[in-house]
Amino acid sequence: MKCLAILFTFVALSECLVKIPLQREKTRRGMLREKNLLEGFQKTNRDMDTEYITAFSKRGRFKKPLKNLQDLTYYGTIYIGTPPQPFKVLFDTGSSLLWVPSIYCKEKACIRHQRFDPRKSSTFHGTGKRFPIEYGKGSVGVILGRDTVKISSLTISDIEFGLSTSESEDFNKKKYDGILGLGSGRTGSFIDNLMKKGLLEKDEFSVYLSGKTDGSMIIFGGIDQSYFTGRINWIPVKSKYPWWIAVDSILVNSKKIACRDGCQALLDTGTSSLLGPKSEINQIQQAIGKHSFNCRNLHNMPDVVFVINGIQYPLTPQAYTHKDDDHCESGFSSGSKDYDHLILGDMFLREYYSIFDRGNNQVGLAKAV
């Protein structure tokens, strides 16, 4: 029993690995064969890139490359179940639950994407619990279950996730299938469950968002100094759900033009632009001059500076505009509803390497390379 306990916590002691894996492999193989899944499991492991193949994960740091879709979405492939079923997911610090489309959902948004089939996984366990999710745009209804999840070389057994039973039309044309929430605070949140299993070197993850199609990275369990320059500035998290910080003010030409008395902000990898209350966004737009303009005039426009915990974080005109040929538009928006806080999305996070430190409830920001 001692060896079995050690094995399941992924501690690779040779005295246990000599005796236990053969029995475990036989049990898994038998379960797969009984469900007629063995051939599919073997084929999937042959076809999967070596990045995703692992028998036992060590405690450490794990890198996951992300794809950048036109600076609008950063997503990567994960695998759920045994044998593994692949899903493209948006890695989202603005929510806390992992969910993917499922065979229980018959709507267009689900049918157009990869759907999880729990009948084809020998390690799936249903809970019967249902959970509604509301996003800034769109909503999802899920039923909760538990299964094995693989992210790069990181294998997480018995993790809670949602199987969508309904999805609004907002998800119809999304490049990704589902969302992997990296916020915390709710029971069963993905990141808290991951950390409780003791798989990470540190109870933190960090994010580097590139402006190129490839090159973006999320690192579970630590940081990579090659993605930033200078010092890391640490900021207390104001709320455990998900990643809220306080902004002191917003400056243009050294003058306070918004958030004059301080405001709350969410660091959100799931939002492409920078959102906020209409009154605050209007003041920023007035300060920079226009919402839409010729890209050749960018050099005449001012930086927008966010003062956070006493440190200035400037966004250049090149950083806060979206370019389409010679036409540019401001990335500041009040969205479809009147927010009472700021959402510092990918437009901000591309400029600053971000460390989400769950162990100490703080966020680190450093200038991205």
User: Which amino acids are annotated catalytic?
Assistant: 92, 268
**Conformational region of residue 361, where left means phi above 0, alpha means psi within -120 to 50, and beta covers everything else:** left
Measuring CA to CA, which residue among 265, 276, 267, 249 is closest to residue 357?
Answer: 267
Measuring CA to CA, which residue among 165, 159, 88 is closest to residue 121?
Answer: 159
CA distance 349 to 354: 7
Judged by DSSP in three states, 225 sits in helix
On whether the CB atoms of residues 227 and 353 are closer than 8 A, the answer is: yes
Token pair for residue 367? 């200038």
Judged by DSSP in three states, 191 sits in helix
On whether the CB atoms of residues 82 and 32 are closer than 8 A, the answer is: yes
Q: What is the DSSP letter of 58?
A: P
Angle, CA 231 vertex, CA 230 and CA 237 arms, to 5°: 135
Token pair for residue 49? 């890139």
Token pair for residue 9? 């916590």
CA distance 186 to 63: 25
